[in-house]
Amino acid sequence: GIQVEQSPPDLILQEGANSTLRCNFSDSVNNLQWFHQNPWGQLINLFYIPSGTKQNGRLSATTVATERYSLLYISSSQTTDSGVYFCAVEPVTGTYKYIFGTGTRLKVLA
Amino acid sequence: DTGVSQNPRHKITKRGQNVTFRCDPISEHNRLYWYRQTLGQGPEFLTYFQNEAQLEKSRLLSDRFSAERPKGSFSTLEIQRTEQGDSAMYLCASSLISSTGWTDTQYFGPGTRLTVL
């Protein structure tokens, strides 16, 4: 089945710093989402981005479907950005389930 | 629109007991998904429904697990004869698929954290 790998696995930033999180996937996908899982376990939608670029405030994301990767950019990080970031993909195999990546655990220090 | 809700939020049970979780999706969503997440891992797909039909089940869903969505609205996930390995966060998500097959974003509920003693 499709493999979804995220890097880096762990990231520690000082408040105000910028960062780039990467998601690589091994096969073609219909859909891709980025999520932020907060310390209480809630998965919060960040972007629905099967291709192209989107921006929402300090966050932006780019997916290059032909090269099978997606990037999540966080600018001017804040302590509330801490948590785990997941990308999830829907493979082009006629199934509609999401396969989640391994996650990037981000800690932003004040 | 109140989002996806799940009940209970936490459940502690003894090994061998049966437990049932409930998920209420976003009202107009016709797709409902169940995932399981263990500590330090990403969520893993268990099963999904389109309206009341269960269309796919993961191999993770042993015969002790059963899920229903009787009227195409809320769903229940039951685990019989719980084992310590069933301890995990159980997540529900919903989405809308159009008649042309276009799928919208999956929205997740807050999860039910199960602890089996």
- Cα separation values, B114 from A63, A86, A88, A108, B34, Å: 35, 22, 23, 29, 14
What's the rounded Cα separation, in Å, for the pair B69 and B52?
5
Contact B97 A98 (CB under 8 A): no
Would you say residue B1 has pLDDT above 70? no
State the CB neighbour count (10 A cutoff) for residue B46.
22
What are A32's strand-pairing partners? A89
Of B48, B55, B108, the CB nearest to A43: B108
Distance to chain B for A52, nearest Cα, Å: 16
The string of pLDDT tens digits covering residues B28-62 is 899 999 999 999 899 999 999 999 999 888 888 88
Task: Name the one residue in this structure whose structure tokens are 């950019």.
Answer: A73
Q: Which residues of A touch B58 (CB under 8 A)?
A: 97
Contact A33 B103 (CB under 8 A): no
Contact A96 B48 (CB under 8 A): yes
Report the pLDDT averaged over residues B84-90: 96
Q: Which of A53, A49, A54 is nearest to A25 (CA)?
A: A49
| Pairing outcome for strands B75-79 and B19-24 | antiparallel
Would you say residue B22 has pLDDT above 60? yes
Q: Which residues of A touch B60 (CB under 8 A)?
A: none
The string of pLDDT tens digits covering residues A31-90 is 999 999 998 889 999 999 999 999 999 999 999 999 999 999 999 999 999 999 999 999
